Amino acid sequence: MTRHPATARCLATWTAAVVITLASAAAPAAAQPLPAPAAAASAVETPDSFFGFRIGTDRLLASADRIERYFEQVASHSPRVRLLELGATTEGHRTVAALVSSPRQLAELERIRTANQRLADPRRLAPAEAAALARTQPAIVAIGASIHATEIGGSQALTELLYRLATAEDPETVSTLDQTITIVIPILNPDGHRLVTDWYERQKGTAYEGGPMPWLYHRYAGHDINRDGFMMNLAESRNLSEFFYGQWHPQVFLTLHQMGTNGPRIFVPPNADPIDPNYDPLLWRTAGLLGGAMGFELQRDGRRGVLSNGIYDYYWPGYEDSAPLGHNTVCLLAEVASARVATPLTVTADELRGGQLGLPEYRPQINFPDPWPGGNWTLRDIVDYNLTAVNGLLKAVARYREPIVQNFYDMGRRAVAAGQAGTPVAFVIPPEQRDPLATTKLRTLLLQGHVEIHRATAAFSADGALFPAGSDIVLMAQPFRSYAKTLLERQRYPQLPGRPGPAERPYDVTGWTLPLQMGVDVRAIEHAFDTPPVSLLSPNPPSSITTLTTAAAPSATPSGRAANKTAAMASSPALASRD
């Protein structure tokens, strides 16, 4: 993703209603015979045949329109694939996603989706029932690519991944399909992808081939489309948020990016310090396990120059791949060295450099045991490294399916318990504010991130202060506690211990306290209080997006239930009362 430290990261929002449209044939009814995978495989066209060249060939790119058509073609011919749409982009383009699994599981897709949403909220599910579900529930893995449009190798690679998952008959692939539902999102920035491929084609054969465009590759955010993970300013962010938390809520999310040319060939997790201490420690342990599997597969395939525990941290929650951490999703980042878009380049041995966090010198060390020696570097290399890393991830998730699903539930349960026993117990947003529009924006972005907010319908006291009716209460006893807490509390960036000399330069943003940044009066409540009668706030679903299915409304927090029975979320304008 070429996350440059100096790049100012815009902050954005991810939509708060279900934004998914079926773009392929409906799921086969349970009573209907499903076509055999072997028959389907023969009907699915290879990427080479469809695009007219081998993916990753020098100076050739698959366009966004062609990638979307290929995903449609595979979905129409394979019983292992369903096509969904996340919603319209800023420029009105589609964002497609392929759900890939065994035909048996795709026939029960809605049951699996509903069960997964129940696992995401432990207040709906007793531990024994959750354990029974975890024994059979497939793990949901999302893989997205190219949110930074110039980092184009991931979008190209995912066409080959889709073909392999849709057609391969080897035991390992068949087992992976039985154990997982893989959501493949080939282009997270469809508007930018079109601009980049168009510019590249226009400049091919000139002195500007493979160079930067003279304009941004997103109308509003450019490179910083990936700095919008919690502010939800962009349609792309809102769509992804609703797709994840309102619909499919993956246990694992891998995002494919690219980095500079003269260092390691690929970064895979675990990430570098610092971490946000609000997140469940099991997220970091699972990222280490799955990232280790990715590195193992890369090394076994002879892919040299693999770095882990370096460069990239997950302290800031504003990336597309860090915001889900606060929703108990294991997030993984892969960064492959870039070419000049699709034009190859040569990196000599004396041009290779360290000088980065976790890699002070370009030489073998425990997190970088096999340096790449230099040479020619191509788009096909980027494709191959990505595919190998993804293969390692899917194998590991399939093998650890049950504990990954169980951990997803357990992390939500621990979040609720921490909100009941820890501090603060809540944040309160009083109705009288200096800037009502900023207050509305703050409330909306929290709701779009599926944070529960209750509106008091009567006055109440907390921490010795009297709050009027109309105050908004963010109780911490909720599954996404860490997400809400990290956005509303004040940050204190940690000095990394045991590092001699000056402090390490932070990779990215070190403070984002939204109440201070937005000028909104938000009070942290440290002690338990009697919750007043409340209504549960709900954002409106966007009218222009078709809804695949409506997620059940989450129940109120335990303390809220004790004082007031809150009802299902309403559609208009922001309030719903419970019986």
- Predicted local confidence at residue 570, as pLDDT: 29
The pair of structure tokens assigned to 427 is 């944040």
Q: What gap in Å lies between CA 508 and CA 505, rounded to an integer?
A: 9
Least trusted range by pLDDT, from 337-346, 431-440, 492-501: 492-501
Tell whether the model's pLDDT for residue 58 goes beyond 60: yes
CB 150, CB 189: distance < 8 Å? no
The mean predicted confidence, pLDDT, of the chain is: 87
Q: Report strand pairing: 139-145 vs 252-259.
A: parallel
DSSP designation for 325: G
Question: 575 falls in which pLDDT band (50, 70, 90)?
Answer: very low
Of 8 and 447, more confident: 447
pLDDT at residue 130 above 90? Answer: yes
Cβ burial of 25 (10 Å; 0-12, 13-18, 19+) is exposed
pTM of the model: 0.87
pLDDT at 380 over 80: yes
CA distance 187 to 548: 21
The percentage of residues in the chain with a pLDDT greater than 70, rounded to a whole number, is: 84
Query: How many CB atoms neighbour CB 464 within 10 A?
Result: 7
pLDDT band, residue 500 (cuts 50/70/90): low
Per-residue confidence (pLDDT) for residue 486, from 0 to 100: 97
Whole-angstrom distance, CA of residue 299 vs CA of residue 518: 47
Rounded to 5°, the CA angle 447-232-288 comes to: 90
User: Phi and psi dihedrals of 238, rounded to 5?
Assistant: -65, -40
Helix (H/G/I), strand (E/B), else coil: 556: coil
Compute the distance between CA of residue 399 and CA of residue 464 in angstroms, rounded to an integer. 52
State yes or no: pLDDT of 564 exceeds 60.
no
270 contacts 291 by C-beta, under 8 angstroms = yes
**Calculated CA dihedral for residues 30, 33, 39, 41, nearest 10 degrees:** 0
Reduced to 3 states, what is the DSSP secondary structure of residue 435?
coil
